[in-house]
Structure 1
Amino acid sequence: FLTELAEAAVRCGRGDVMVELLRELEPVAASTSSPALHIGMRYARAVLAGDTAADLFNEALEADLTGWPAERGRLHLAYGEWLRRQRRVVESRTHLRTAREIFDALGFTAWSERARLELRSAGESSPNRDPDARERLTPHELSIAQLAAQGLTNREIGQRLYLSHRTVSTHLHRIFPKLGISSRGDLAALLPTLEETAG
């Protein structure tokens, strides 16, 4: 609950209100061993810290988060987002990847997608490895994806499927976001996964 409040406060520019609430909660936190409260407090302090957040994020991640995978994922995601905004892009990718993997494992699709979008913004494609990635493509799109993954040009794909190269290009522009990728190279890396899910 504190994590959601802290995020909302930051996003609407009212971090000051959240800082005051944390100050009021300090005596309560000092007198309880509630892991949820302490995890929430550490998260909130980190996301509210602005330019000096790195130490607070690291402190929050060093705490015992056994049994709290979603909270650990959210910390990695928030830290990765913060690092990217600080132009520490290479460092951000490690945390964003970890967040994506945690959310994928938990089946938290919306959170996984948020991590994937952040990774893309950090210059790294993030193929969807979930079993239903293949189901997102129509049979027609799948045919185009397989040919593109084999290295065929849009013109060559068009000749095989009796389409114009512009139509092939349009299809590829629809296929890439569906699979969470941004290039043909990513498509080639993902294709074995697509074939495995077919078997």
Structure 2
Amino acid sequence: MKPQADLNPIVAQVLRVRGVDALAGGRAEEAFRQLRRMFDPADPAYHPYIRFTVVGHLAEAALLADLRAELAPVVAGLEPEAALCRNPALLAGLRYARAVLADDDAGAPGDELAEWPFERARLALAQGTRLRRRRHNLEARRPLREAAATFDALGATPWAERARAELRASGESLRRPVDATAALTEHELQVAHLAAEGLSNREIGERLFLSPRTISTHLYRIFPKLGVKSRGELARVLLDR
């Protein structure tokens, strides 16, 4: 028989799959109960590192199932660990979890989530939903469009449908999936088109009267918004559009 330490990663991975499947299927409380086990050191599903990858999922399940009171001590326990280890997955998940627990508007996703498009979109969805429920429909639509476009680009259909449902509730009529480029600002869209044409950062900067470094910053934000990792993929996304 294998030692318990060898079994923990397997049990944790099984619980992660079950929890995310339940969350995608709209069974938020079931998802929370499954994923919560991974944070209990006495549970066979506990794993010191795998649990970092599901913090965002746990927080979303808590939000949808109205279990924020049970989420709070988990987040509080993770904060010191995050400060020490600076694990990227943990930091990204905690950014969303804090927004779930906040009583006020947590604000738009920042650059710290540029390399985590799913968490960024999830935070945008939370922001837009909060604004919409406060009847700030016009302000809610931009983050909701960004969320829907990113989820579509990532193939996260259940989450994209949630974002579109919130958009419809805000009064916006949707007949087709949200265009991924709806998540871009006007400047970002200009940069994206020029980069897709094959221009270098220096050439784009010369056309837009910006420095190559500024162009690089724009692309750093554009890629995760569109769910791409290269200029080739960027060109295909814009061509499909």
TM-score category, normalised to shorter length: 0.5 to 0.7
4+ residue segments displaced more than 3 Å: none
Residue of structure 2 aligned with 1:28, choices 81, 89, 113: 81
Give yes or no for the alignment of 1:83 onto 2:136. no
Give yes or no for the alignment of 1:3 onto 2:62. no
Give the length in aligned residue pairs.
126
Relative distance call for 1:15 and 1:86 in structure 2 (3 A) is same
**C-alpha RMSD over aligned residues:** 1.9
- Structure 1: 5+ residue stretches without partners: 131-196
Q: TM-score, normalised by structure 2?
A: 0.49
Residue of structure 2 aligned with 1:125, choices 162, 173, 192: 173
Q: What letter matches 1:24 in structure 2? A: G
Give distance in 2, aligned partners of 1:129 and 1:14.
31
Q: TM-score, normalised by structure 1?
A: 0.58
Q: What letter matches 2:60 in structure 1? A: E
Give yes or no for the alignment of 1:109 onto 2:157. yes
Q: What letter matches 1:14 in structure 2? A: L
Give distance in 1, aligned partners of 2:59 and 2:117.
19
| Shift of residue 69, structure 1, vs aligned partner | 1.2
Which residue is equivalent to 2:102?
Answer: 49
Counterparts in 2 of 1:1-199, with a 5 A limit? 1-50=54-103, 52=104, 54=105, 56-58=106-108, 61-129=109-177
Q: Retained in 2: the 8 A contact 1:43–1:57?
A: no
Give distance in 1, aligned partners of 2:66 and 2:159.
22
Q: Retained in 2: the 8 A contact 1:2–1:44?
A: yes
| Shift of residue 17, structure 1, vs aligned partner | 1.6
Q: What letter matches 1:57 in structure 2? A: G
Q: What letter matches 1:40 in structure 2? A: G
- Structure 2: 5+ residue stretches without partners: 1-53, 179-239
> Looking at CA atoms only, which structure, 1 or 2, has the larger radius of gyration?
1
Q: Secondary structure at the match of 2:172?
A: coil
Q: Retained in 1: the 8 A contact 2:92–2:116?
A: no
Instruction: Give the percent of matched residue pairs that are identical in Structure 1 and Structure 2.
Output: 46
Deviations 1:103-162 (A, max 9, x none): 1222222222111111000000122148xxxxxxxxxxxxxxxxxxxxxxxxxxxxxxxx
| Shift of residue 13, structure 1, vs aligned partner | 2.6
